Each structure stands twice: as C-alpha cells, then as structure tokens.
Structure 1
Amino acid sequence: MDKPVTVPAPGQPEPAVSQEPEKKGFSNILDMGMGMPAIPLPPSAMVQPQHSNQDRTFISIPEYIENPENFQDETFKTFDYTEHTIRRAFISKVYSLVLGQLLVTGAFIAWFLFDHTTRLYVHRNSWVMLTALAMYAVSFCCILCCKSPRRRVPYNYLFLLAFTLGLSLLVATVTSMYEVGTVLLAVGVTGVIVLGLTLFAFQTKYDFTTLNGSLFVMFLTVITFGIIAAIMQSQLLKLLYSALGVLLFGIYLVYDTQMIIGGKHRYKISPEEYVFAALTIYLDIMNIFLRMLRLLRA
C-alpha cells in the first residue's frame, strides 16, 4: 500500500524527503533490532560476565583457539575435552573392567577350591569344561575379529562377560587340582608382579610399544619350546617353559599397558577400544598366574 502524501499548510516549508530507499523484507527485520539469527556457542566457548552491569559477552572460537590463556574461566575447565582428559577416562574405564573380571575369576576360583561337591562334579562331567572352552573361544574371536560389535554397547559388554565367564571356569578348574596354599601363594606373587610391572610401564621412558615384532617372535619361540617340553616329558623343561612364560607375558603386560597409556608412545589403543584393552590386560594377568602356579608346584 502506498504511503499517504502530507500536504504542507500555507506559509510552512515543505518537509525534508529522505533520499534513502525504502527497506523491505529482510532489511526491515534487521532495522527492527532482531539482527542475524544467532548461533549459541557451547559453554566452553563462553565467558561469564564478571559484573552485573555488563552484558553477556560472547567470544569467537578462533579467538579462543589462538589465545586460550586469556580465557581461564571455570566454565572452560569444566568442559575441557582434551586428548589428555579422554585418555585418563579411557584408562579408568579399562582398569575398572579388568578389576571386575578379576573379581569374577577370583570368585570362581574360591568356589571350586572350597566347595568339594562342585569340584568333583566338574572333574566328572567334561561338558562343563567343553562349554567353558566354547564360550571362551567364540567370545574371544568375536572381540578380536569383529570391530563394530566390540565398540557397540551392549554387545561389547556381553562378549566380554561371556569371555570372562568362560576363562574363569577354565582357570578355576585348573586351580582346583592344586593345594589351597599353592594357589594363594600364586595369587600373591602374581599380584606383586602385576603391580610392579604396571608401575614400571607408567614410569619408564623406554617405549615397549615398538617391540611388537620381537614379542611375536618370542611368543612363537616359547610355544615351540612348550610343545617340545610336553613331548619329552621332562620336568626340567616344563619348569623352564613356565619361567619363560612368566617372563614373556610380563613383557606383554608392560607392552599392553603402554598401549593403553598412550602419550608419547609410538603406538596406542583407541579410546573406543576399551573392551579390547581390558581383554588384553586380563589375558596377560591370567597367563602370568597360570605359569606361576606351575612354577610353585614344581
């Protein structure tokens, strides 16, 4: 609709006419004070006002990236999603899972050691061992070979639970053939070794993650030596095989621990692979324990 024309009264000057063209559409909206549609920044890119008489101030993300020392507000510290923070959360999750696995295995070992009826039933019924072996093998293959399921909740936890139950049954069956004192001594010695090697892995400046090829060669050598010892039925060779096994899996424990720590080490495990990382540490501990059990019996 056209604007009404105002006619000046006789003797009055004509009103000044603005030369600025009429604004329509989006330009009118800008003049009304609405401005461009605002995109709110995340809390980590926001500085809280220091005084009540100041308006809330927004900063640009490039400004924060270039000068992070200028923005030491508590909000930044609360939402500090750096690589270091993610790695620490990953380490906590991994060792929480390992602790849960060890508690389950310890409960099975205690059950088989102190419940004579259960121990006899397992020894007389081979299907229990076969079922445990199948659970262990299938879940291990799924975690090792299937990348997507081992990263998706709840499938990764279900696979890890099946793996832990299967291996716990196998380990508990083996330990039920030993004396209680020998088993407890093996648990204590294994705990000291694991704690010492874990602290060493955190503190040492030597990067064990570069030894992956050498460790594989050592693993094949120890396996071959174990087969020879089993064929020859030599007690001395079996004792030496167990000692080499403790040494090998001790090095593997340091290697896997540094892979989990990350940092300046050459190779590291992705934070998404917390189930796989827990499996590797748990396997290292179980292998050290079983070979220490054989050493102490000998």
Structure 2
Amino acid sequence: MSYTAVPTQPPPYGENPEARTEGDNVPDDFKYSVDVASCELPVRQMFIRKVYSLLTAQILATVVVGFVIRSNTTIQNWCFNNFWLFIVSIVGSFGFLIATHIKARSYPINLVLLGAFTLCESYGIGLSCSLVESEIVIQALMLTLVVFIGLTLFAFQSKYDFRSWQSVASLGLWFLIGWGFLMMFFPQSSFANLIYSGIGAIIFSVYILIDTQEILKTCHLDDEIPATLKLYLDIINLFLFILRILNNRNEN
C-alpha cells in the first residue's frame, strides 16, 4: 500500500513558506485562503487585538518622542541646528514604509521595520509640534483621539459599506497633494490655509472609516502590519491637519 504526500501549507504569496515561523498558532493555509470576515468570532477578535495593540504602541511611541523633543529646549536647539537629521527622517520614513510593506509577512523583521518607520515619523512629528504652543498640541491630540475613536466605533457597527468611497477619497487626496505642492511656491492667505486643512481633516476622517472596514472585511489574518500602517498614517495626517486648523485659528 502506498501513500501520497500532501503539502502541509501553500507558498504564501510568492514568499518563502518558512518566512513566517512564529508569532501565532494559526495555520498558514488558513491565513492565506480566508479573509478576516469569513473567520469565527474568536479568530476575528485575535486579529483585531493584534492590529490595535500595534497601533497603540505606535501612537505611544510617537507621543513620547514628540513630548521629549517638545519639552526640552536643548534637544530642540540641537535638532534645529542639525537639520540634516530631519531630512534623514523623511527619507527613512519612505524607505522603511516601502520595506515594511515588502516584508509585511516576514516575522520578526516586519516588526523591526515597523518600529524604525514609527521612530522616523515620530521625529518629524516632534519637530512640527515644537513650533506650536503646548496647549494647541494637546487640544489637537485630544481632538484626534476623540474623532478616531468615534469613527472607529461607527465603522464597526455601521451596515453601510464605506469602502465604496475609496475612489472619491483617493481623488480628494490627490487634489490635496496638488494644492499642497502649489502652496510651497505660492503662499496663500490664512483663510485658504484653513480651507486646505479642513479638507485634509475630512479626507483622512473618511480614510479612517474606509480602512477600518477593510480591516474587518478584506484583510487576511497575516495582514496586521499593513492594516496597522494604514490606520497609523490616517491618525497622523488627521492630527497634523487638526493642528494646522487650531494653530491658524490661534494666530488670527
């Protein structure tokens, strides 16, 4: 009597099947063939906990780095006198973002890259906050958290599919990028800056709704890193636009 060997797991999206060998006890063939929405409740809850635990760690790291830079005059002066480091952080943010997406399913390098990306982003956020009054920074932070939590809860319980807004949100984002590029060369009035910031805040609020529902409906069980990145970028951009709105109001 002869037996035919059956593969224990399929190759994960063209990567080395041994690239992910630890981190959870969910079989790889289950991860790559089923999205989160098709899983049982305990599995869905496990994935959501992973995503929001990583997101919380990113936000806390960003707040700590920003607080250190914002609260220490010596560090601020050193940062502004060594502007090259800010350029490095920008280049590093893009580089680590791309690398994190490429290695999103390779544990633990994906967590290392995610941490490096977060530190680069945190440095730039800290410098931006150091140019604004502390009271405004705190207000912007609190408003961002309230908006994010409210939109997240709404997206979780809503039966409406906000993913259908993806094309409109993308169009609005490109419009925002183009407008921001023009503002670099053609300074505009405070009112125009206020409109620009308001549109930006609305667009990234919409992205929070879209990306939250994508996590619930389309992500695979091993997509916690891309899902976390999306939400983190949504929160950071929303915070920066709210910060601009409050600062613009304060200056006027």
Specify if TM > 0.5. yes
Q: Please tell me whether residue 115 in structure 1 is matched to residue 69 in structure 2.
A: no
Aligned residue pair count: 211
Partner of 2:227: 277
Q: Which residue identity does 1:297 align to in structure 2?
A: N
Of 104, 122, 139 in structure 1, the residue corresponding to residue 61 of structure 2 is 104
Q: Which runs of 5+ in 1 are unaligned?
A: 1-25, 27-80, 263-267
Whole-Å separation in 1 of the counterparts to 2:150 and 2:50: 21
Whole-Å separation in 1 of the counterparts to 2:39 and 2:123: 40
Task: State the 1:125 CA deviation.
Answer: 0.5
Whole-Å separation in 1 of the counterparts to 2:96 and 2:182: 30
Of 182, 197, 208 in structure 2, the residue corresponding to residue 253 of structure 1 is 208
Q: Which runs of 5+ in 2 are unaligned?
A: 2-37
Whole-Å separation in 1 of the counterparts to 2:154 and 2:135: 29
Q: Which residue identity does 2:90 align to in structure 1?
A: L
Whole-Å separation in 2 of the counterparts to 1:209 and 1:270: 16
Partner of 1:46: none
Task: State the 1:132 CA deviation.
Answer: 1.3
Can you list the C-alpha shifts for 1:145-164, whole angstroms capped at 9, x where unaligned?
A: x2xx2101111101101110
Task: State the 1:143 CA deviation.
Answer: 2.4
The DSSP-based 3-state class of the residue aligned with 1:133 is helix
Partner of 1:241: 196
Q: Contact 1:198 / 1:254 at 8 angstroms: preserved in 2?
A: yes
Of 93, 96, 107 in structure 2, the residue corresponding to residue 153 of structure 1 is 107
The DSSP-based 3-state class of the residue aligned with 2:219 is coil
Aligned structure 1 segments of 4 or more residues deviating by more than 6 angstroms: none
Larger Rg: 1
Whole-Å separation in 2 of the counterparts to 1:217 and 1:108: 33
Q: Please tell me whether residue 290 in structure 1 is matched to residue 240 in structure 2.
A: yes
Q: Which residue identity does 2:237 align to in structure 1?
A: N
Q: Which residue identity does 1:251 align to in structure 2?
A: V
Give the percent of matched residue pairs that are identical in Structure 1 and Structure 2. Answer: 32
Whole-Å separation in 1 of the counterparts to 2:90 and 2:181: 20
TM-score by length of 1: 0.68
Name which of structure 1's ranges 152-161 and 216-225 shifts more when overlaid on structure 2.
Answer: 216-225
Whole-Å separation in 1 of the counterparts to 2:188 and 2:167: 30
Q: Contact 1:226 / 1:238 at 8 angstroms: preserved in 2?
A: no
Partner of 1:63: none
Q: Please tell me whether residue 130 in structure 1 is matched to residue 80 in structure 2.
A: no
1:136-147 to structure 2, matched below 5 A, reads 136-144=93-101, 146=102
Partner of 2:168: 214
TM-score by length of 2: 0.80
Task: State the 1:82 CA deviation.
Answer: 4.5
Partner of 1:167: 121
The alpha-carbon distance between structure 1 residues 260 and 82, as it changes in their structure 2 partners (threshold 3 A), is closer
Task: State the 1:126 CA deviation.
Answer: 1.1
Q: Contact 1:229 / 1:241 at 8 angstroms: preserved in 2?
A: no
Task: State the 1:127 CA deviation.
Answer: 2.0
Q: Which residue identity does 2:225 align to in structure 1?
A: V
Q: Which residue identity does 1:293 align to in structure 2?
A: L
Q: CA RMSD in A?
A: 1.7
1:3-152 to structure 2, matched below 5 A, reads 82-144=39-101, 146=102, 149-152=103-106
Greater relative CO (CA pairs within 8 A, separation 6+): 2
Can you list the C-alpha shifts for 1:213-235, whole angstroms capped at 9, x where unaligned?
A: 22211111222233344424222
Partner of 1:178: 132
Q: Contact 1:105 / 1:168 at 8 angstroms: preserved in 2?
A: yes
The alpha-carbon distance between structure 1 residues 158 and 99, as it changes in their structure 2 partners (threshold 3 A), is same
Name which of structure 1's ranges 219-228 and 197-206 shifts more when overlaid on structure 2.
Answer: 219-228
Q: Which residue identity does 1:139 align to in structure 2?
A: F
Can you list the C-alpha shifts for 1:65-118, whole angstroms capped at 9, x where unaligned?
A: xxxxxxxxxxxxxxxx94433222111000000000000000011101111100
Whole-Å separation in 1 of the counterparts to 2:183 and 2:150: 30
* Structure 1 or 2: more helix by fraction: 2
Q: Which residue identity does 1:123 align to in structure 2?
A: F
